[in-house]
Amino acid sequence: MSQCLNPNCQFLNPSTTKFCQRCGNKLLLADRYRAIKYLGEGGFGRTFEAVDEHRFDTRCVIKQFLPQLQGSAALQKATELFKQEGMRLRDLGKHPQIPDLLAFFEQDNRFYLVQEFIDGQDLLKELQQRGKFSEQAVRKFLTELLPVLEFIHNQNVIHRDIKPDNIIRSSHNSLVLIDFGVSKQLTATVLTKMGTITGTPGYAAPEQMHGHVSPASDLYSLAVTCIRLLTGCLLEEKNGVWNDKLFDPMQMEWIWRRQNVSVSHELAKILDKMLLFPVGERYQSAAEVLKALNSPPVSPPQPKIQVPVPKIAVPQPPQPQSQSQSFTEDLGNGVKLDMIYIPAGTFMMGSPTSEKESRDSERPQHRVTIKALLIGKYPVTQAQWKVVANLRKVNRDLHPDPSYFKGANRPVECVSWYDAVEFCDRLSRFTGKTYRLPSESEWEYACRAGTTTPFYFGETITPDLANYDGNYTYGSGAKGKYRQETTSVGSFPPNKFGLYDLHGNVWEWCADHWHSNYQGAPNDETIWLSSNINYERLLRGGSWDDLPDDCRSAFRNRYVAGLSNDSFGFRVVCAAAWTL
């Protein structure tokens, strides 16, 4: 059969006819291409499967330029974009995983683009028919597709619409990237896209939805595609979390865990970095992602380097059980909150450059003097959370049972920074004392308890000392159990102040805004706030799902204050007794 290309007709004619039997429209394009099947419609027009009668009826694809635009200016812009797509495909079609451009011409006052036909199935259909992809399959997918992206980016082209529908697994089992209809030439003048699309919501990077693209934008969409293949769902399909102005990669991690998908920490870290916002924190090229994907997960242990440590006068911490200022808050219903007295003192905050896996964000090291304080012996537990969440609201509602990993004596998680602050506000009103989140300097001082090593128990860490991803090592530490969930508070040895779970189990919210390093940081316990009200807040301590180096005393993490994750919890601080 022959498909009539007249938009007002589209009658199916016998394949032997040269003109449409309904409207008389000429059926052959350029006297050789015959449309046989309507495939779909996009921003610029319609797409048809066709045959080339000059090449023994070889199958091909016809794109008919038929924009739904009003006004000569809009039509002119759209026409220019369609021509640009033809020129891009002329150059990009040299790659074996991009359809070749066979022809570009005008007939009957309409433009047509003819491409190579790829016999196969797109990955969305494959996902729907065969189910979720394994991690091994996604790694293979990345290994095959990243070189294609590297090729097009080296041609100064951004695809801008990476998604499973636009990736075909051919009959030869190779992946082919299709549909460059919204791609953008980096070196060209940006055109006003009147009536055209800039990508697919849910896949497009936040900056792309506001008109700014770079190679990193395609990497973002590729990461979302990977997670769609792993989980079978898009983020926007879960509880309306999607926000085109701000996307939080850890929400993707949240989804795949709840979809019972096993993803290694290594791949999760790579995908998270591909999704970071702002753009500068992402991988900037496909080559960088490939390098990370092919890197060994664990570096060989490095020889220890002895570095002189400045002598700092730190008071000998008293045993908490004999310290009169420590106390237990009775929350009711048999639930208690143990608060441990921490004496005043001075310490070096941050890490030296000699500390293995240390970051620039942990420097410059600086001397900080901390006033005495009282801090929770453990992270806030689910039992404590439930009691306080049922108290009268101060500013916002609290879910009484938000945690993914259930257990009254496990730390509460899946709570945002704002939730933690509301907990403190309700607890303060209930007790008549002032409870709050610790400042970052208070947290590190309490964690170190007079030590200068990466962890409060020494130079290294093992899964017998803390709850983290035991598949990975730090320094001379051994591998061990990866529990893949939180553990009851107090399951591991305390520090010299008598505090538990400061390394691993759950990240702990701090009161401060995020700053990229310690330039200009306070030299006391002051909560360090940003003048531009940065939306990110500090997290400390690492979690059950993190690498051992993330659990170091000096390691700094950040997250959007209004979002949560099943590895985020907190502990509370109260001023020392004589200041109450």
Instruction: Quote the CA–CA distance of 357 and 388 in Å, as a whole number.
Output: 38
Using the structure block, give the residue that is written with the tokens 């007295």: 341
Using the structure block, give the residue that is written with the tokens 């945690």: 403
Q: Tally Cβ neighbours within 10 Å of residue 464.
A: 12
Length of the chain: 580
Phi-psi region of 291 (alpha: psi -120 to 50; beta: other; left: phi over 0): alpha
Instruction: Quote the CA–CA distance of 404 and 414 in Å, as a whole number.
Output: 7
122 pairs with which residues across the strands? 168
Euclidean distance between the first and the last CA atom of the chain, given in angstroms as a whole number: 87
Marked catalytic residue, from 122, 161, 512, 566: 161
Q: Tally Cβ neighbours within 10 Å of residue 476.
A: 12
DSSP assigned state of 576: -
Measure CA 446 to chain center. Answer: 30
Phi-psi region of 227 (alpha: psi -120 to 50; beta: other; left: phi over 0): alpha
β-pairing, 184-185 vs 110-116, is: unpaired
Instruction: Quote the CA–CA distance of 4 and 508 in Å, as a whole number.
Output: 64
Contact between residue 158 and residue 217 where contact means Cβ atoms under 8 Å apart:
yes
Measure CA 485 to chain center. Answer: 20
β-pairing, 167-170 vs 327-332, is: unpaired
Whether 161 sits among the annotated catalytic residues: the reply is yes
Per the structure block, which two tokens stand in for 397? 């509602």
Give the catalytic positions in this structure.
Answer: 161
